[in-house]
Structure 1
Amino acid sequence: MARKSVIITCAITGSLHTPSMSPYLPITPDEIVKESVAAAEAGASIIHLHARDPKDGRPSADPDIFMQFLPRIKQQTGAVLNITTGGGPGMALDERLAAAERASPEMTSLNMGSINNGLFAGARRIKDYRFDWEKPFLEGGKSSYFENSFQNIETIMKRLGQGHGVRFEFECYDLGHIYNLAYMLDQKLYEGPLFLQFILGILGGVGAEVDNLLLMVRTAQRLFGDSFEWSVLAAGRHQMPMCVHNALMGGNVRVGLEDSLNLGPGELAKSNADQVAKIRRLLSELSFDIATPDEARQRLALKGGHQVNF
């Protein structure tokens, strides 16, 4: 049987890395547009998007900022635009959902459980901060956690899935998150096809080891049969190796400056497109085809770009 083409997702900026970590991290709407278009041209069929305050780069959930880049990216690419529902540390649920409810995108992320997130570990590596908010933001990760209770998950599924026809990138940071998704399916809150994003290498979640990835894939297969797509993202230096491993197992891949600031050991990535081009080259050399946006839409049963509100 011919193997499927690989769906490449690119996560453009995120909410955890701070501007002092890399001069190449996109902050303003103009930078996010430029990076997203280039990533799509390099081969990404899904673009995962957060917003930032254009003045100082801190995470923002402001729908007005999202609307400064969403229509422009849509006009210039055919890529699927996937909006965060995780937002950033400390954001309330209504705040996290505001942009997605306004934009009614084809896809959003959905974290499948509450997690500790060791932002504080990154603070030690920064000698000079560009903005005053960065250091306390990072250090605050030692005493805080990202909340996504069962109630929150149910609310997101109802308000976005049932309310807007949104499909989800189910982000699973640990084995239990896969079982949380199975419970939600048992409650008839969502129907497949599923798109699972296994997240490895985050301090507070499962480690970036092939055995862990295999266990997560096999667990999902036991719970969901063959009616799901899965992808992997791995933090930092684990990004490219874990993506290649996952493709060899039949899965899809996610890269981008949200997940890793580097292109190789000790080498900052100068753009998201550089990472997309690298993983595409690696996969092409292993004889994998790369999925187009329309192929991704068909496999993930998305509603189409003509049914969004931007």
Structure 2
Amino acid sequence: MPLAMNREVFITCAVTGSGDTASTSRHVPRSPKEIAAAAVEAAKAGAAVAHIHVRDPETGAPSRKNELYKEVTDRIRQAEIDIVLNITAGMGGEIVFGSVEEPLPLAASADVIGASERFAPIAECAPEICTLDCGSMNFNLQDYIMANTPGTLRAMAKMMTDFGVRPEIEVFDTGHLWFAKKLVEEGHIEDPVLVQLCMGVPWGAPNDLTTFMAMVSAVPPTWTFSAFGIGRDAMAYPAAAVLAGGNIRVGLEDNLYIAKGQLATNGQLVERAVNIVENMGGKVIGPDEVRRKLKLTKR
């Protein structure tokens, strides 16, 4: 397929995530104050969107406490710089089986809740964007399934649309994109449609250009897409995404390093992405332009 470079690119920074990375890098923010500061740092570096998870401030473990999300979003909104808020709605679908021979009862680390409870931080904080992980998958660890059933996804998509927040459809494999099209066809998600291509997360779509371009080819031409890869290939994906006609996601959720053996900050990762876009002849757009493009409601 011919190249269709995107020349007006927005950058999303996923500032902390929920993976076991806080013990690996001192730069991964834990507390609401640190997470909000990381989002502000990313905005100053050129990110238009901040993708937010929260963590237990003491342990760094992933959390879905509403009060932590509220403190983060309040701090960001009170900051001196603007950025579009994108809060995860992906927590609460973690099925962790007991063992290979005795899968039930589930392990103590399992965390499975209903659609309304998963949506609760969105209703509490009223961001402009929230994520919708558009399918289930074997997720990296041996007995862990990221569970997002068709019924749950239909219910959550309707909640998002009715509430007036833009779903960011996260797709980890081709079947997820197939079902996302079904949600749009059924009217659960309205135009303009935003999709995030998540590459290289075991055991979803592998982190290679052949698979990536197959995913891109399956995105309807009227949709807006962004993409990221994880680990050592993460900083190659800004160039690939822009060349393929998309936008960029970087951040410490996806990658801890700016160079071999050199731990990164969120700001450094965003700055590198900005340089890539500008060196390719593109322009990095800001939050107001993203709001116009995606018809977002700022609260």
- Does the Cα contact within 8 Å between 1:61 and 1:98 map onto a contact in 2? no
Amino acid at match of 1:82: N
Q: CA deviation at 1:195?
A: 1.0
Query: Which position in structure 2 is the counterpart of 1:10?
Result: 13
- Does the Cα contact within 8 Å between 1:78 and 1:293 map onto a contact in 2? yes
1:162-215 alpha-carbon deviations (Å, 9 max, x no partner): 1x1010111010011111011112211122111110000111111111111111
User: Aligned-residue CA RMSD in angstroms?
Assistant: 1.5
Cα distance in 1, alignment partners of residues 242 and 5 from structure 2: 14
Which consecutive unaligned segments of at least 5 residues does structure 2 have? 95-110
Say yes or no: does 1:230 pair with 2:193.
no
Query: Which position in structure 2 is the counterpart of 1:100?
Result: 122
Cα distance in 1, alignment partners of residues 230 and 5 from structure 2: 30
Cα distance in 2, alignment partners of residues 185 and 143 from structure 1: 32
1:95-143 alpha-carbon deviations (Å, 9 max, x no partner): 432211111211101101011111xxxxxxxxxxxxxxxxxxxxxx311
State, as a whole percentage, how many aligned pairs show the same letter.
33
State how 1:85-124 maps to structure 2 within 5 Å.
Answer: 85-87=89-91, 89=94, 90-93=111-114, 94-118=116-140
Q: 1:64 to 1:251 in 2, by over 3 A?
A: same
Match of 2:296 among 287, 291, 302: 302
Cα distance in 1, alignment partners of residues 178 and 6 from structure 2: 27
Cα distance in 2, alignment partners of residues 275 and 49 from structure 1: 16
* Number of equivalent positions: 277
Query: Which position in structure 2 is the counterpart of 1:133?
Result: none
Runs of 4+ displaced beyond 6 Å:
none
Query: Which position in structure 1 is the counterpart of 2:161?
Result: 161
Q: CA deviation at 1:72?
A: 1.3
Query: Which position in structure 1 is the counterpart of 2:57?
Result: 54
Q: 1:2 to 1:169 in 2, by over 3 A?
A: closer
Which consecutive unaligned segments of at least 5 residues does structure 1 have? 119-140
Match of 1:272 among 262, 266, 272: 266
TM-score by length of 2: 0.89
Query: Which position in structure 2 is the counterpart of 1:131?
Result: none
TM-score by length of 1: 0.86
Cα distance in 1, alignment partners of residues 282 and 187 from structure 2: 35
> Would you tell me which structure has more strand in proportion to its own residues?
2
Query: Which position in structure 2 is the counterpart of 1:78?
Result: 82
Cα distance in 2, alignment partners of residues 191 and 98 from structure 1: 21
Secondary structure of 2:23's aligned partner = helix
- Does the Cα contact within 8 Å between 2:7 and 2:242 map onto a contact in 1? no
Secondary structure of 2:169's aligned partner = strand
Amino acid at match of 1:295: E
